[in-house]
């Protein structure tokens, strides 16, 4: 399988924006008292290409806005980074930490190199892989039925991806992605270190502009199960995620 070099695909790109929506339904299976956590959020992110080479590119990612709702412990919280007054509350301090704070993202072999540090599980539970924004083939070899696979490793986590081009029509390529996920992560919540061990699958459908090899949209459904450990208790949990991404190119 001959992949395009990253430099070939990103050379004509300077900036692009991504509107990403995520619905999260998490259940902590506490005996006699299950705890439900629901959220939905929409994130608007500006990306700028900083540097590209044969198998590598670097970009700047700046979250311009985040808004949505969070339901937990019988209470609903509405958040909107455009509400400057609300950002001063303790509950929304995490928004101030991420909005309008440029972050450098490195992509190698069409997958983002993820940082092992996590601070906010609500925001980090589904990490966006910036490598997906470019199709790794020249349009001349793209056809329905073309398949390939790869895998990524991050700290103690492992992701195995299988790709299949479902159809090519009107200069659009529709790609199915099936991913097996093993996630081991840790983060701090309310001053307490939490460790999570999760396994599951993700099913995605991506639509690319075939002429430019650029992602136009993506929809993803993810199911995970495992446990959360706070050092005292180990609690089984299940997570269901549904997300969409819409990309605007300059």
DSSP string for residues in 26-65 = EEE--TT--EEEEEEEEEEEEEEEEEEETTEEEEEEEEEE
pLDDT of 123 > 60? The answer is no
Rounded to whole angstroms, the Cα distance separating 221 from 99 reads 26
Residue 117's pLDDT band (cuts 50, 70, 90):
very low
Rounded to whole angstroms, the Cα distance separating 119 from 97 reads 10
* Torsion angle of C-alpha atoms 194, 197, 200, 203, degrees rounded to 10: 40
More confident residue, 4 or 222: 222
pLDDT of residue 200: 96
pLDDT in tens, 90-100: 777 778 888 99
Question: Are the C-beta atoms of residues 8 and 239 closer than 8 Å to each other?
Answer: no
- Architecture of the structural domain at 6-249: Roll (2.30)
pLDDT in tens, 133-143: 988 888 888 99
């Amino acid at each position: 399988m001959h992949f395009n070099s990253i430099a070939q695909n990103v050379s004509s790109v300077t900036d692009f924006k991504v509107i990403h929506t995520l619905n999260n339904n998490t259940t902590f299976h506490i005996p006699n008292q299950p705890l439900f956590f629901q959220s939905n959020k929409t994130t608007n992110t500006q990306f700028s290409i900083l540097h590209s080479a044969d198998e590598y590119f670097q970009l700047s990612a700046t979250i311009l806005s985040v808004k949505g709702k969070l339901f937990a412990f019988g209470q609903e919280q509405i958040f909107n980074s455009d509400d400057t007054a609300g950002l001063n509350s303790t509950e929304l301090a995490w928004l101030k930490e991420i909005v309008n704070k440029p972050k450098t993202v490195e992509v190698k072999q069409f997958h983002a190199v993820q940082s092992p540090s996590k601070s906010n599980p609500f925001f980090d539970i589904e990490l966006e892989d910036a490598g997906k924004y470019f199709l790794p083939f020249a349009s001349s070899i793209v056809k329905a039925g073309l398949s390939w696979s790869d895998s990524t490793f991050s700290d103690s986590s492992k992701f195995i991806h299988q790709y299949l081009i479902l159809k090519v029509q009107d200069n659009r390529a529709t790609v199915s992605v099936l991913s097996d996920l093993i996630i081991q992560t840790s983060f701090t919540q309310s001053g307490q270190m939490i460790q999570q061990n999760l396994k599951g699958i993700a099913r995605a459908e991506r639509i690319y502009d075939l002429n430019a090899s650029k992602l136009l949209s993506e929809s993803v459904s993810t199911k995970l199960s495992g446990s959360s450990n706070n050092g005292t208790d180990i609690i089984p949990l299940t997570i269901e995620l549904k997300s969409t991404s819409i990309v605007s190119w300059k």
